[in-house]
Chain A
């Protein structure tokens, strides 16, 4: 294994401020909720104090969004809305380094990921959707599809800026106004996005960003003047929101948890498959709803593949998220680290065989060494529950039919992977796996033109592509 000298990105680039305020009606204002301190999960130091929204702040934000919808945004020609959204895309690109470093500081993800995936994909989402704003009549929802009104959006901590982009861009393109609540542990990049939105001179109230904990999200989605709710997060909370919205006319889309099967056949290009498996589960510390957390390997190659996998995972560098050579950064919070530990302990207790990389871990911060469980059976918790961490469960199969049955043996259905050199088998598998995204001979690819979303308890509705516009149109 190569020795690498430290190559940390400068944290000055993040332009970190001691205080961040919520963004309502075009202005940064002090929230009247209890302020929260957001920490760097890699060091446990406080990064900044962030004001949060109280119930009345939520109401103020929704009122601002309603006023902006009624008076400005819903009346503006699509061609004009488009130019505002293009501006946002450009500014994200221009301030890309700042956003990437800030994201890694606040979230704990490696800088190479925030720099090469999160920020550019966020910009791409705005750029793509900007173009739709004056072309909605071509989207297949009738000659003049109408927006819904005020969208209440609640996003998770695993891709803070990217999820904000996935939510805000299509909402604005379709003519809605937005109140967005970022996650409690990762509010900073959303508030820099607010700064960008202010600099882009968007009319006040079109986008409002209100930090806070789950109760703020609950108040927002329940608000009587919200017409559309979009939530990305756990299946547990998704069900609560769906229940809350029962009997209302609010349109709902949910992007929830997953337990994706990543299926490797005996004819797969093994070295490529190993890279894909590693990317599938260790990308973003495994804090990915579509992570390939259940590896299904054809029995005849299981030993060989496991050996290669252990060797490759041993080379992953875990540590300082700002270091350009870091592969696996910090777990986002102590709470999440505790959950990962609890589930891995259950894996051992239930008889799975644990292998954990012997890589050095930093003394401070929340870190978890990449872990692979073999001899996993379908009934074990580590095969059924979403761990949302760098933990892979390996199961085996003999026939393609068995692979399909095992892949589909879950209430989730967000993503799946298949590795084989045989084209007809890829298509056969892709047709039978009940998941919203199937990556074949690749994993974890995202693009604004490609619809993303789940089957079954992984949620409903899609984000991206022409299909994704439906979530923000009255159709």
Chain B
């Protein structure tokens, strides 16, 4: 029997491409499904959320301005790097969700494939959702989908990796940036995912990941003036209405999907569409 003491990992936040601890200095214990201690996770604060929004806003211009081909390659790269750390994720998902290794394996594999699916969408969204408009006059008119901006994502509470990937990938595929509040009790796969993102050419600030109490941090994102959209998937039931009300203060786009969504299914375009604006451009034709 090996007597080596393993190196325990410190789980931190992921903001603007860096891994800070919470500015609040707080952490909270995370256990596996049976209650055995796994690690301390950073307990993110209002200030962390605001810093993350600032990082996401800063990253928006270059990420939304990147070519669709470039974004597609970056998302595909995430799948590649995730594949390389497959075993680590299987162990973490099994521990977090209390599922057998075989089930965890299938969840991780589907999560990897989901990145590939969304990677392929980046350079097809405009062709599929955009249009050239046959207006009744001497004008050329075309409409293109554009990212709405900074999206606050309340990740599913149960599905710690597959659910998480399923809510992040459609946001960034079209050029949005995001601030994600992870599953409160199952945050560890999310932090490990942030290590994957940091080493996959995803520019810092495009995805920002905060662990902590969803009910504490979500209201600050719902009311934040520089957040354009809010995904309520992982919102506590008791808070959903209030968060949505608060989001109305700046006319945010609100995705009301419930956590009961079956993430094992191949998605449709609805999560991509939720964070898109349509821009119509007109120009006269003539000589």
Contacts and interface: CB of A to CB of B under 8 A. Distances in A.
A180 to B, nearest CB: 22
Contact of A247 (B143, B244, B280): B244
A426 B281 CA distance: 10
A460 B229 CA distance: 11
Contacts of B248: 239-240, 242-243, 246
A441 interface: yes
B283 A450 contact: no
Contact of B270 (A242, A466, A475): A475
A358 interface: no
Interface string A451-475: 1110111111010011100100001
Given A435-B279, A437-B280, A467-B129, A450 B135 contact: yes
A437 B279 contact: yes
A426 B283 contact: yes
Interface in B136-187: 136-137, 139, 141, 143, 148
Given A243-B245, A247-B240, A465-B131, A451 B253 contact: no
B268 interface: yes
18 contacts: A235-B251, A242-B251, A246-B244, A437-B282, A438-B279, A439-B282, A442-B284, A445-B139, A445-B282, A447-B137, A449-B133, A451-B280, A452-B280, A456-B228, A459-B251, A462-B278, A465-B131, A465-B278
B85 to A, nearest CB: 35
Interface of B: 128-129, 131, 133-137, 139, 141, 143, 148, 228, 240-242, 244-245, 247-251, 253, 256, 268, 270, 273, 277-284
Given A437-B282, A441-B283, A455 B148 contact: yes
Contacts of B282: 437-440, 442, 445, 450
A142 interface: yes
A94 to B, nearest CB: 19
A411 B227 CA distance: 12
Contacts of B270: 475
Given A452-B280, A456-B228, A462-B278, 6 more contacts: A239-B248, A243-B245, A247-B245, A436-B278, A447-B136, A449-B133
Contacts of A441: 283-284
B279 A436 contact: yes
A124 interface: yes
B283 A442 contact: yes
Q: Give the residue among A430, A435, A459 with the most B Cβ atoms within 10 A.
A: A430
A197 B251 CA distance: 34
A256 interface: yes
Nearest to B136: A447
B210 to A, nearest CB: 23
Interface of A: 124, 140, 142, 235, 238-240, 242-243, 246-247, 249, 254, 256, 411, 426, 430, 435-442, 445, 447, 449-453, 455-460, 462, 465-467, 470, 475
Contact of A411 (B139, B250, B281): B250
B135 A239 contact: no
A322 to B, nearest CB: 26
Closest A-B pairs by Cβ, 8 of them: A247-B241, A246-B244, A242-B248, A447-B135, A246-B245, A450-B133, A243-B248, A449-B133
A465 B129 contact: no
A430 to B, nearest CB: 5
Nearest to B145: A467
Given A246-B241, A456-B228, A465-B131, A450 B249 contact: no
B133 A447 contact: yes
A104 B89 CA distance: 67
A467 B148 contact: no
Contacts of B134: 449
Consensus secondary structure, chain B interface:
mixed
Contacts of A451: 131, 133, 143, 278, 280
Contacts, number: 108
Given A246-B244, A435-B279, A457 B251 contact: yes
Given A239-B248, A449-B134, A465-B133, A438 B281 contact: yes
A460 B149 CA distance: 13
Nearest to A443: B282
A240 B248 CA distance: 8
B277 A455 contact: yes
Contacts of A436: 277-280
Nearest to B268: A142
Nearest to A247: B241
Q: Give the residue among B148, B244, B283, B284 with the most A Cβ atoms within 10 A.
A: B283
A457 B278 contact: no
B139 A430 contact: no
Contact of A447 (B141, B240, B251): B141
A293 B280 CA distance: 19
Contacts of B245: 243, 246-247
B143 A450 contact: yes
Contact of B281 (A142, A247, A430, A466): A430
Given A124-B136, A442-B283, A239 B249 contact: yes
B107 to A, nearest CB: 26
Given A239-B248, A436-B278, A475-B270, A449 B135 contact: yes
Q: Give the residue among B228, B268, B278 with the most A Cβ atoms within 10 A.
A: B278
A140 B273 CA distance: 12
B143 A467 contact: yes
Contacts of A462: 278
Given A437-B282, A440-B281, A475-B270, A249 B256 contact: yes
Contacts of A240: 248
Nearest to B286: A441
Q: Give the residue among B268, B273, B278, B280 with the most A Cβ atoms within 10 A.
A: B280
B241 A470 contact: no
Q: Give the residue among A239, A240, A445 with the most B Cβ atoms within 10 A.
A: A445
A452 B278 CA distance: 8
B251 A438 contact: no
Contact of A239 (B244, B251, B281, B283): B251
Nearest to A254: B251
A64 to B, nearest CB: 28
A135 to B, nearest CB: 15
Contacts of B139: 442, 445
Given A142-B268, A436-B277, A457 B129 contact: no
B136 to A, nearest CB: 6
A437 to B, nearest CB: 5
Nearest to B135: A447
B2 to A, nearest CB: 55
Nearest to A415: B280
A112 B247 CA distance: 42
A438 B284 contact: no
A456 B278 contact: no
Contact of A440 (B133, B268, B283): B283
Contacts of B244: 246-247
B20 to A, nearest CB: 30
